[in-house]
Amino acid sequence: MIDRRKLAKDRSELARATYWSWEKRLRAEARSDRYALYIDHMRRLGLPGKPGLMLDGTIRVIQAISAYASIDGISLVPFMDMQQYNPCGAPGARYILTFDLHGKAFARVSADSKLSPPDLADLYNHPWYDYKVVGYRCLWISHPDWSRLTNSELEQLEDAVAADLRFDYSEDELSFWFDCGPDASYLCVMLQDVPVL
């Protein structure tokens, strides 16, 4: 007979070990590269050149995504395999999602063609206690190599983002709009709470 509690505990311990191993590797690779990939990434998006803010933010956002995925019973193995310092070598990584945590930090997350498992609605309402902010105000979606997004991709990405956010937030609660980068190397999503009158 299967002991479900033991199985759940074993899965939880494996997830924790996988996460800590990933964080240690990410920190080591970023430091050994002197954060060059983060610096370039931030420059392309016009973000302040403090790569430590991207390393710290990425770690915190991955923690949050992992927690939500665990609650939903989603396997984290493929997702965590994508989270590499050099996203061009990440297996299955089709897109990079860059979150602006209200200017306090930034996060770079690799995602598959379906933009999963990050739940954009959950992250929009996630408290970042160390930063004293909730959620994110802007999200950029790009290819790992910054190649041009096709018109078809832009349309699919807008539909996927809208479906995710509208699943949890009505038009009376959340407003968001899209803007394509000047060379179509990214799609920018701006978000704002709708004020209660």
**In the chain, domain spans:** 4-193
- Degrees, nearest 5: CA angle 141-145-149: 50
Report in angstroms the alpha-carbon separations of 82 from 55, 76, 127, 176.
Answer: 16, 10, 24, 27
CA distance 82 to 84: 6
Sign of the C-alpha dihedral computed for residues 196, 141, 45 and 82 taken in this order: positive
Q: Indicate whether 5 pLDDT > 70.
A: no
* Token pair of 7 as six digits: 């199985």
Q: What is the pLDDT of residues 112-169, one digit of tens each?
A: 999 988 999 999 999 999 999 999 999 999 999 999 999 999 999 999 999 999 999 9
Please tell me the pTM assigned to this model. 0.92
Name the band, by pLDDT with cuts 50, 70 and 90, for residue 7: very low
Q: What is the pLDDT of residues 13-65, one digit of tens each?
A: 656 777 889 999 999 999 999 999 999 999 999 999 799 999 999 999 999 99
3-class secondary structure, 110 = strand
Percent of the chain with pLDDT over 90: 76
Mean predicted lDDT score pLDDT of the chain: 91
Phi, psi for residue 158 in degrees, rounded to 5: -60, -40
DSSP letter at 149?
Answer: P
pLDDT score of 2: 56
